[in-house]
Structure 1
């Protein structure tokens, strides 16, 4: 395993893992691949959501499984958001921006804020004091772990974060320039306005579909997303070695589909320019170099909880 002495050194060595001609082929963005995947994701959401809303008062044997699937499809709209802020989901930058905002709307993220936040996460992955993701400590006890899986900290964080963004309280966000802060404020206000309009229409219609069609399903899906995201860097090294600070998790095809191949996470961090649809091919090239390559999210989470109370 290579030993890196600086962030620049680690990036330089990572860029040498793939031959230029191979990387060029893997870097090909595609509107067709992105739209095909998006239609499939939204199709699953539409079918499961329709079954949930039409059967919730008729047949719970159908409604509950539909709710579970629908909730996961809503929560995992985080995945196309993530791909689009990298501008790799589509060849068109306009399409990336539009789908990112829409996916953020459904998953309760703001794409304008997340794009800057996530850029710093990639720039300073697992570097204490610099990686903004480390501002939210990983669970160290069973209580913290179950609370994280519940999604409660995420809901609280999102409500506080959107309020602070909408009111311009972004001084503690070093990844935002003055110009970016103004853009984030506008984008968040528009997003909250859409939610407000949806709530108003829900009340006028006489059926609380904003609650049953969005909030409840998203709350059901969040534990699954938390379970997945804990594996990306949990238990990995907190240093600048991109081969050891990120994990790839081999999982079932339906989950890979809904997560837009994000389970190939180490490959993504090594080469963020590689679009989601070529990450499986990148995995075949890079897997010999990866320190953390695990079979399934259950196994990873078992490893994480087994480490509670131990000192790294």
Structure 2
């Protein structure tokens, strides 16, 4: 379900030829497996350390590890995103399996997100059609802005939506077409059933392990994920050009690894067929044409918060 062509890109300073794009768009099971296994391995190791420390010294002593786990778990969003484009792996089956698994971990149904994200790419920065803007924050004061940046409203919103799909069997959001609604309902019911089974198992075993290594980290991780996501488009232009309506943020290798290279977000929106592992190469070609350039996420978060504040009273 990936978009395979550039979307209204301006003339290149260093032209990207069809042959170059074909080469950049080569997908790799090895690269996808390396990124997926390293991400999940980091979660498993940190989770084991949380269990070890909390069981011996108490949960309070494990809080720093829980915060680290929060980053790792929340940023599985990037695995869901890349597999939604079917570019994480060459194998379509692997894309779907990793997408479903990662979506389950972060309470984001995969099939639903694919449809949501497709519309986002088609209508980026269109206030009437881009789902990210339709469901996005319209804060009117500092309290609402703080809640938006916590990410908890967005997480709660998607959980409530998933429960609504599962319990009512109805899907009304406009980005899910009629012929896909039954599949979205089935998916939501599978996810909810899975969570219910885990809750029952935890109660039967009298353990809060999943709370400390998964649920609480997922909540805390939104504090990092949400400002990261706002950096992608907030304050950018409302045009059809990916080089104007999207921001690339220049950041650390660590962030690039666990964000699956999505800080190169202009590059991704301009050429969505290019998989995550080739975006750094693409950046070297198109870097000179990028309009919105972030100098790290601390600086960009200051910019995006200022952009929201400037619109207090207009929402």
TM-score between the two structures when normalised by the length of structure 2: 0.90
Could you tell me how far 1:53 is from its partner in structure 2? 1.7
Counterpart of 2:21 (choices 20, 23, 27) is 23
CA 252–266 in structure 1, closer or farther in 2 if over 3 Å, else same: same
Q: Provide the secondary structure at the position in 1 that maps to 2:244.
A: coil
Give a deviation string over 1:13-42, Cα, whole Å, max 9, x none. Answer: 459752111111100000000001111101
Asked if structure 2 preserves the Cα contact closer than 8 Å seen for 1:142 and 1:305, the reply is: no
Q: What residue is the counterpart of 1:168 in the other structure?
A: 169
Structure 1, gaps ≥5 residues long: 1-9
What residue ranges of structure 2 are gaps of 5+ in the alignment? 1-5
Asked whether the equivalents of residues 10 and 241 of structure 2 are also in contact (C-alpha less than 8 Å), the reply is no
CA RMSD of aligned residues (A): 1.9
Higher relative contact order (CA 8 A, sep 6+): 2
| Candidates 48, 73, 85, aligned match of 1:50 | 48
Per-residue CA distance 1:85-106 (angstroms, 9 max, x = gap): 1000000011101110000011
What is the CA–CA distance in structure 2 between the aligned matches of 1:268 and 1:163, rounded to whole Å?
Answer: 31
Per the TM alignment, residue 144 of structure 1 is displaced from its structure 2 partner at its CA by 2.5
Which residue number corresponds to residue 152 of structure 1? 152
After superposition, the C-alpha distances for 1:155-212 in whole angstroms (9 at most, x for unaligned) are 32022210222122212x2222222111111111111111110001000111122322
Map of 1:4 onto structure 2: none
CA contact (8 A) 1:75 1:218 kept: yes
Match of 1:3 in 2: none
Instruction: Give the structure 1 partner of residue 87 of structure 2.
Output: 88
The residue that corresponds to 2:122 in the other structure is 123
Moved more, 101-110 or 298-307: 298-307
123 and 263 in structure 1: CA distance in 2 versus 1, 3 angstrom threshold: same
Is the 1:26–1:274 Cα contact (8 Å) retained in structure 2? yes
Contact 2:163 2:192 in 1 (8 A): no
Matched with 2:263 is 263
CA–CA separation in structure 1 for the residues paired with 2:10 and 2:30: 29
